[in-house]
A and B are shown apart, each in its own frame.
Chain A
């Protein structure tokens, strides 16, 4: 295939970070816009802080950040996903008004639940599960907490799940489009991602107060158990789940303490997803 010559430029903002993406790869740009429509907002003329280029050069696709190649791909495997990863790293470096936390977040009746946890702890699964119970999607991986108001804003990237995750129920799935990915060196479908569509897109200028912090933990074949967690321990756990709290040397601890002071904290052992969701629903339903 002859290399394309037309250059296309996209100026967008993720949280408070203006980004410029330049590419000569049309189908990538279409896919990227499709996947991230809920995550990015128009840059409104703000000068970009980080510049990316996605260039097709002979048989390789290059992803460049600030003029430096970070990926050279010999097939079009998940170009958008890798670029999103890079954008996410840039957020850790540049975003200064939000503390970014390794946590999922959902909202119901105007009150948000934060689901912080390590990888594989069941954040995305629980987030997906809760959506069947009338919760709205804010994020499944990165919770952006505003540094002054200690409120959470949507960081609505697609929800990634390995193949085994139960699909959303009929009523909810129309709000999400399902993409499937093959593994890089595998021919089987291994990953699926749920892309929020119009019905699931949350307004980006609304911030939500966090009323519950639930630390999910996947316990195979176990029962679902919900236990209160001491506030100090919750603060410790949140500090360990921060992506960029090193940019907040003096204030990080204060922000997390503020978050914990106004929320109630629990740990949730999840064996059965349905049971776990019922427990969360019982907790939230009771107090509303």
Chain B
């Protein structure tokens, strides 16, 4: 009963979750979370033949729906066909081998700035960077494999000597979307002229309206002035410019002001993101982590990225697997699934050709991941409308299939809550209303509140019995060690993890 996708009406899809369920209106691109009781009513509606479900019945039912705060963005985008299509596509997620559609090419590691958060740890040109001829081969092979969008990035792209030639070559390889990432500090006229003629898009990272804060993050005095001049020059050539504000300790409170400043310059497309714990960003991310935890600037729920929404219609990618059909090639030829997933190399150019890498098991496996595979999310009713970052989950938890740490919605309780042991009793106690049965040392638990089922292996079953409100996790671990006589450190880790899992699934009493 749980997690089945039912089709009530051809464009209305009901996805059941452990507590709440969600109704996806694919026609309008809206998602509603609904109360378990209403699901039963809907159950009756579904048993009717489709022709008997009138629009009126649905309107009546709508009165019961609670709009989920996290889904506000879907509701405001009624006319955005991308959202609804995204849901349709991910619901009918094809499992066949996926093709390539987008490449990030990190042309060089050289950079004239040394930003505090740089995921590529850019600065000095590396000795074994790919040659100009090899980049051209990559563009050729990528085009043959179906890629139509390419982003040239770095380091600083303008420090790559053959940039003009490469952009021209990309155009001749039939790439329809070419985007150059630059800090806009050293743009020459002939570059701007070429970009304007060839319809190249430009992306600029920007940090603050406050020159000192900006220069503090780039660690390069004068970079604020140079970047602002650069953006003005780009706009004067009518080149489409996109700015991204990366938030970290030095500019955490500057988002609004920076946005206004950039809008004042005439920029329309402005995005923002928090620093990622990759490369030099790791330290910054830890600093911000604490700050964000205290004064949370906004509900941290995964959301559809602007970029994806913009290019959605053009790219055959699944809504929920962010990195599907995408690869990164670093300046040294190492291939990753995403710029932030640098601990997941999937191949190396030119030892392996792109075709081999793309069709290899490593890449295909990563591309096939959907939220149906991800811990916790696989039970969440919102999983087909959600955008999440596997790289972030991997770098923060060490597990590729962990839940996106930005998401604070717990599908097992139906509540948006803080993550990590919050609200747990010092001596964990299982909820009194749960029903459990033991079959051959394994425990099956039934939660009458949300009709959810849980299955514990014998070890977890022992821990379960000790969660009686009289033992601290440490005492439970000691008890387990006395029975099993295994490595106490390992057991303590396992016990903590198991109890945390009980907690996250709403099986423990809360303070």
A interface residues, Cβ below 8 angstroms from B: 71, 85, 89, 118, 184-185, 230-233, 235-236, 239-240, 242, 246, 249-250, 252-254, 257, 260-261
Task: Report the Cα distance A231→B48, complex, angstroms.
Answer: 35
B397 beta carbon closer than 8 Å to chain A:
no
What chain A residues lie within 8 Å of B437 (beta carbons)? 235, 253-254, 257
Closest B residue by C-beta to A246: B451
Tally inter-chain residue pairs, CB-CB below 8 A: 52
Choose from B48, B49, B448 the contact partner of A250 (Cβ within 8 Å).
B448
Looking across the interface, which residue of chain B has its beta carbon closest to that of A234?
Answer: B439
Take A236-B453, A250-B448, A257-B444 as given contacts and tell me if A89 and B47 are in contact as well, using a CB distance cutoff of 8 Å: yes
Taking a contact as CB atoms under 8 Å apart, the answer to whether B453 and A239 are in contact is: yes
Whether B448 and A249, one on each chain, are in contact in the complex, defined by CB atoms closer than 8 angstroms, is yes
* Contact partners of A242 in chain B: CB under 8 A: 1
Instruction: Say how far A182's CB is from chain B's closest CB, in angstroms.
Output: 14
A261: nearest residue on chain B (CB-CB)? B439
List the B side residues contacting A231 at CB < 8 Å: 439-440, 442
Write the residues of chain B forming the contact surface with A, with a CB cutoff of 8 angstroms: 1-2, 4, 44, 47-49, 51-52, 435-437, 439-440, 442-444, 446, 448, 451, 453, 455
Which residues of B lie under 8 Å from residue A236 when comparing CB positions? 444, 453, 455
Among residues of A, the one whose C-beta sits closest to the C-beta of B456 is A232
**Whose C-beta in chain A lies nearest to the C-beta of B442?**
A232
User: A260 — which chain B residues lie within 8 A by C-beta?
Assistant: 439
Residue in B52, B444, B455 whose beta carbon sits within 8 Å of that of A71 in the complex: B52
Would you mind naming 30 contact pairs between A and B with Cβ atoms under 8 Å apart? Answer: A89-B44, A89-B47, A118-B4, A184-B51, A230-B440, A230-B442, A231-B439, A231-B440, A232-B440, A232-B442, A232-B443, A232-B444, A232-B455, A233-B455, A236-B453, A236-B455, A239-B453, A240-B1, A240-B2, A240-B453, A246-B451, A249-B435, A250-B435, A252-B446, A253-B436, A253-B444, A253-B446, A254-B435, A257-B444, A260-B439
Residues of B within 8 A of A118 (CB): 4
From B47, B443, B446, B448, give the contact of A85 (CB < 8 A): B47
Given contact pairs A239-B446, A254-B437, enumerate 19 new A-B contacts (beta carbons under 8 Å). Answer: A71-B52, A89-B47, A185-B51, A230-B440, A231-B439, A232-B442, A232-B443, A233-B455, A236-B455, A239-B453, A240-B1, A242-B1, A249-B435, A250-B435, A250-B448, A252-B446, A253-B444, A253-B446, A254-B435
Chain B residues near A230 (CB-CB < 8 A): 440, 442
User: Is there an interface contact between A184 and B1, defined as CB atoms closer than 8 Å?
Assistant: no
Chain A, interface SS category? helix
Contact status A257-B439, CB under 8 Å: yes
Residues in chain B near residue A89, CB distance under 8 A: 44, 47
Measured CA separation A250–B437 after assembly (Å)? 11
Given the complex, which residues of B lie within 8 Å of A85, measured CB to CB? 47
Nearest CB of chain B from residue A159's CB, rounded to whole Å: 19
B-chain residues with CB within 8 Å of residue A239 when the two chains form the complex: 444, 446, 453
**Docked CA distance A235–B44 (Å):** 26
Question: B439's closest neighbor in chain A, by CB?
Answer: A231
Q: Which residue of B lies closest to A249 (CB)?
A: B448
The minimal Cβ–Cβ distance linking B431 to chain A, given in whole angstroms, is 14
Q: Which residues of A contact B453 (CB under 8 A)?
A: 236, 239-240
| Chain B residues whose C-beta falls within 8 Å of the C-beta of A71 in the assembled complex | 48, 52
A70 to B446, CA, bound (A): 33
Complex contacts, A233 vs chain B, CB 8 Å: 455
> What are the residues of chain A within 8 A of B446 when measuring CB–CB?
239, 252-253
Contacts of A240 in B (CB 8 A): 1-2, 453
Closest chain A CB from B411 CB (angstroms):
17
Q: How far is the CA of A257 from the CA of B436 in the complex (A)?
A: 10
Note all chain B residues with C-beta closer than 8 A to A232: 439-440, 442-444, 455
Complexed CA–CA distance, A214 and B435 (Å): 25
Bound-state CA distance A250–B52 (Å) is: 36
Q: Would you give the shortest CB distance from B9 to chain A, in whole angstroms?
A: 16
Is A235 in contact with B444, judged by CB distance below 8 angstroms? yes
Whole-angstrom CA separation of A239 from B1 in the bound complex: 9
Measured between alpha carbons, how far is A215 from B506 in the docked complex, in Å? Answer: 30
In the complex, which residue of chain A has the Cβ closest to the Cβ of B444?
A235
Q: Give the chain A neighbours of B444 by CB distance below 8 A.
A: 232, 235-236, 239, 253, 257
**A250 CA to B436 CA in the complex, in Å?**
10
Closest-by-CB residue of A relative to B44 is A89
Nearest-neighbour CB distance to chain A for B425, whole angstroms, equals 25
Q: How far is the CA of A80 from the CA of B437 in the complex (A)?
A: 41
**CA A89 to CA B48, docked complex, whole Å:** 12
CB pair A184–B455 under 8 Å, yes or no, is: no
Closest to B49 in A: A184
Q: Which residue of B lies closest to A119 (CB)?
A: B4
When C-beta atoms are compared, the residue in chain A nearest to B43 turns out to be: A89
Q: Determine the chain A residues whose CB is within 8 A of the CB of B448 once the complex forms.
A: 249-250
CB distance from B50 to the nearest CB of A (A): 10
Chain A residues with Cβ below 8 Å from B4 are 118
Closest CB in chain A relative to B314 CB, distance in Å? 34
Residues of A near B51 (CB, < 8 A) are 184-185
Residues in A neighbouring B52, C-beta threshold 8 A: 71
Distance between B190 CB and nearest chain A CB, rounded to angstroms: 60
Q: How far is the CA of A184 from the CA of B49 in the complex (A)?
A: 9
Q: B42 → chain A, closest Cβ, in Å?
A: 13
